[in-house]
Amino acid sequence: MNILESLKDKLLVADGAFGTCYVGMYGEQGTVAPELANMRHPERVLEIHKEYVKAGAGLIRTNTFAANTASLDADTDYVISNVRAAVKLAKQAADGEAGTDHKKVYIAGDIGPIPADAGLTLNERVSQYKLLGEAMQDMGVDIIWFETFPEFDVLEPVVKHLKARKNTPVMVSFCVNQFGYSNCGFSARALLSQVAGNQDVDCVGFNCGVGPYHMLQLLKKLDIDCGKPVSVMPNAGYPKFTQSRLVFNDNKEGFIDKIQDIAALGADIIGGCCGTNPEYIHQIMERVKTGDIAKAAKVHVEKVQADSAVKDNFLKGRLERGGVATKNADGHKHKLIAVELAPPVDVNDQKLLDAAHILKQSHVDVVTFPDSPSGRTRADSILMAEKVHKETGLRVMPHLCCRDKNAIAIRGSVLGAQLNGIKDFLVITGDPVPVMFRQTTRSVFNFDSVGMMKLLQSMNEEVFSGDKITYGGAINQNRLNTKFEIDRIKRKMEAGAEFFLTQPVFSREQAQILRDMKAETGATILVGIMPLVSRRNALFMKNEMAGIEIPDEIIERYSENATRQEGEECGIQIARDILEYTSDFADGYYFSFPFNRVHMLAHIVD
């Protein structure tokens, strides 16, 4: 009987922590990390596994939680050898101890998250997770257990690959705090829902992060009746930092009581995480034998439907009233007009405020503020947007990028913005930090723009009930791989993106690409228009700004010796041409004026 068949009618008791147990037994005598012990001190690893099996555990996890190149400071070959040694030791313990009472002990190949500060790209992490999983599959583990993860996106291509390679069961277990959020800002409810809908994941769970009391309170609010087996592995409690290491108090009695309540909610796999040891598992098994802890039907929790009403959310309201196109007092069709104002690089914001007042007289729909574009510091986009809104009354939309902030900071920024009446955002991944600054400044990139949209989507469901925020994304029609960009648009729409702002359009060919993208995705598109003001300006944008494609024929329309007025008139005429050949599909326009020359807008649009 494989593990999934067993879980249909049986409560499975897993082991407890390995790492903290190892440190407690050998930490004072040696400096060998638990995972390195697989090859340096295999007798220690074997002894801990045996103690858990003797205690009654029906599932033990391999000593491989941190078996990756970053944590072990080793190459891939060494890590894979380490993983193979770990699986052999777990199997040896299970076979040797289980043979006395003919009890089946399952082996879980344990994979923990690669540290975020390891310097690995997303693709590098995905590739390493795949290699670790493949090694475990080839060694014949009963289930691959991705443990203590703060998000699922990085694992989605991994589990898809592993399930296509071999049909080894896969479990994904998340780590959240006592408030129900992971380090990446995703709620337990959102993570559970995301994995429950993924056909490549067989089991889902929560471990670490919290003690048994908070884990129980969290589960009571969730619908763990998700159609898949659920594992629950809380810490013994909360640690104290003493003598240069974390120490957990002995909390067996309280832990076992709460595990009993957790099992009553319908958990399929129970056990322990940090601070637990074989004695904890033994005590659980004693209550299993008396029937106090037993397999229970899952408790179904109805999700409270959030109020979907939108309070004073201009962009959302316009989009829900049949798109951004409406009619003005004269009966003419009006398309939403967004204008970008770049925050200053210093504390002098007078030019920006002057431009904002001009835009107020031009009746633009929304003013946007980039978030330190090109990776060079400018005034904070949200704070700048708030000041402009207070001084002019204009609708404002700051850009949010994930280059400089982790999920905690982004959530905090969005909460603060909403409290100040800012409810519209443009969500982008963000330009990388320039090479010359990388010795002193490091990017964060906790996730990309799609991941950040999923975070905001979760906040809309759980935090902004009845007063949701609206957010959109960016489109780069100049990518060589247009299929990749179309797939990104679809993923962003699934993550809640309501509209898209494009890179500046300078040719009919670029416009056609956007026309095709709209036809395939149904996206609401605000076409980017950048009225260049001189030949020099055009050459700079063409040669120095990534993502912007300016044909030579556009540059040739600017005279080398043109006056300022002549340069602006040329830019105005080019912008009018773009308006004309994009009007059939554009839902609105997104203007970016070099040097904040917003007075040109009145000469471009009626």
Q: How confident is the model at residue 464 (pLDDT cuts 50, 70, 90)?
A: confident
pLDDT for 38 beyond 90: yes
pLDDT for 334 beyond 80: no
Contact 70, 34 (CB under 8 A): no
pLDDT for 31 beyond 70: no
CA angle 294, 295, 297 (to 5 degrees): 130
Tokens in use for 398? 């700051």
Burial-class residue 581 by CB neighbours within 10 Å (0-12, 13-18, 19+). middle
pLDDT at 440: 66
Q: Measured between alpha carbons, how far is residue 168 from residues 159, 395, 406 in Å? A: 10, 53, 34
* CATH number attached to the domain at 314-532+586-604: 3.20.20.220
Instruction: Report the percent of the chain where pLDDT is more than 90.
Output: 69
Does 208 carry a binding-site annotation?
yes
| Pick from 23-27, 213-217, 367-371, 557-561: least confident | 23-27
Q: What are phi and psi of 245, to 5 degrees?
A: -150, 165
Q: Please, what sign has the CA dihedral across residues 237, 238, 240, 245?
A: positive
The per-residue pLDDT for range 49-106, each reduced to its tens digit, is: 999 999 999 999 999 999 999 999 999 999 999 999 999 999 999 987 654 455 789 9
Range(s) within the chain of domains with CATH label 3.20.20.220: 314-532+586-604
Does 273 carry a binding-site annotation?
yes
Q: Which of 48, 17, 136 minimizes the C-alpha distance to 87?
A: 136
pLDDT at 32: 62
pLDDT for 435 beyond 70: no
pLDDT at 326: 46
pLDDT at 77: 97
Q: Which of 171, 134, 443, 498 minimizes the C-alpha distance to 310?
A: 498
The per-residue pLDDT for range 377-407, each reduced to its tens digit, is: 999 999 999 999 999 999 999 999 988 888 8
At the fourth CATH level, the homologous superfamily of domain 3-290 is Homocysteine-binding-like domain (3.20.20.330)
E strand or H helix at 564: helix 564-582
pLDDT at 312: 54
pLDDT for 322 beyond 50: no
Helix residue ranges, H only, 147-227: 156-165, 188-196, 212-221
Range(s) within the chain of domains with CATH label 3.20.20.330: 3-290
Distance of alpha carbon 195 from alpha carbon 293, whole angstroms: 27
The per-residue pLDDT for range 540-587, each reduced to its tens digit, is: 999 888 789 999 999 999 999 999 999 999 999 999 999 999 999 999
| Pick from 8-22, 216-230, 308-322, 546-560: least confident | 308-322
Q: What are phi and psi of 106, to 5 degrees?
A: -85, 150
